[in-house]
Amino acid sequence: MRSLPISLALITVACLAGCATQPPAAAPEQPVSLSFALVAGEQLVRCGSAFGPVGRDQKKVSLRDARFYVQDVTLIDDSGKPVPLRLQLNDWQDAQMALLDFEDGSGQCVGGTPATNTQVTGSVPAGHYRGVSLTLGVAQSLNHTSTELQGAPLDLAAMGWSWQAGRKFIKLEVDPEGGVGKADGSRANTWYLHLGSTGCTGNPVTGDTVACLRANRIPLRLEGFDPATQAVALDVASLFRDSRLAVDEGAALGCMSGPTDPECVAVFKRLGLSLSSGLPLEPGYCPAFSARPKP
């Protein structure tokens, strides 16, 4: 009978040892839904409805396409620390990035898709957050890949770029009223903004590593941002404030990120990018994007 207390003691010690090896409970997560909006001043921009006037020439325009990629999405906590958003896996986003899509294939948005996406969803550790930061663009390691071999959201041929199999980071196309007058005297219907990396060398199809002189990725940071009540807004009127949308002075029609394209000079300033280097003019600041109340 004297062995009974010893046995109980051994059992107690074993239980305590087992409990001590249990991993700590995971911190509670809170869901986050970041809203995005496409606006022109105070107007919501949609397919099928003219908006404006916008640009130096104050033209009414109609939307033809509007999509962009974001990556490195983080919330900023009360201490100023960035906390990565754990992205939910769905048709619009993988674990690293998301595609925002504002066109619905209607009106002049021909060739688009009926489905739209204006949110980035995920989770962060429970807490209070007072800002958001993200990068507009596709990471170098993922950018120069085949749209046919990648999963969503990198599988869209419409967002692919023939240059070294890269991606259009931002695709924004508008039809100004009366069309676009070109330098050679001809006219076109659409003014294009296609932002992507340029000066790239190396062929990913043959296994080469691709390197680009101008990355053209846009880091954006919005302080005082409340995901519950605010949206990250791309203001087309602000973006095109210093552009003439009814005129194209040469190179690619509109701005397709060419470092010598005259139409890119004004647009890149409003995107907060150096046209010559592809680097941010002021990291975190992009005049065309701002926090707005949710639509």
Q: What is the pLDDT of residues 27-54, one digit of tens each?
A: 799 999 999 999 999 999 999 999 999 9
Whether 102 and 118 have beta carbons less than 8 Å apart is answered as yes
Strands 166-167 and 160-161: antiparallel
The DSSP secondary-structure symbol of 204 reads G
Is the pLDDT reported for residue 5 higher than 60? no
DSSP 206: G
End-to-end CA distance of the chain: 77
Asked if residue 275 has pLDDT above 50, the reply is yes
DSSP-derived letter for residue 188 is: E
The enclosing H or E element of 116 equals none
* Ranges of each domain in the chain: 30-293
What does the chain come to in residues? Answer: 295
> Which two structure tokens, joined as six digits, stand for 17?
């040892």
The token duo for 83 is 């906390």
Q: Look-up: residue for tokens 């009814």?
A: 246
Kindly tell me if the per-residue pLDDT of 233 is higher than 80: yes
Q: Which of 3-12, 94-103, 152-161 has the lowest mean pLDDT?
A: 3-12
Residue 4: pLDDT band by 50, 70, 90 thresholds? very low
Could you list the beta-strand ranges (E) of 115-201.
Answer: 119-125, 129-136, 160-161, 166-167, 170-176, 180-182, 187-188, 191-195, 198-201
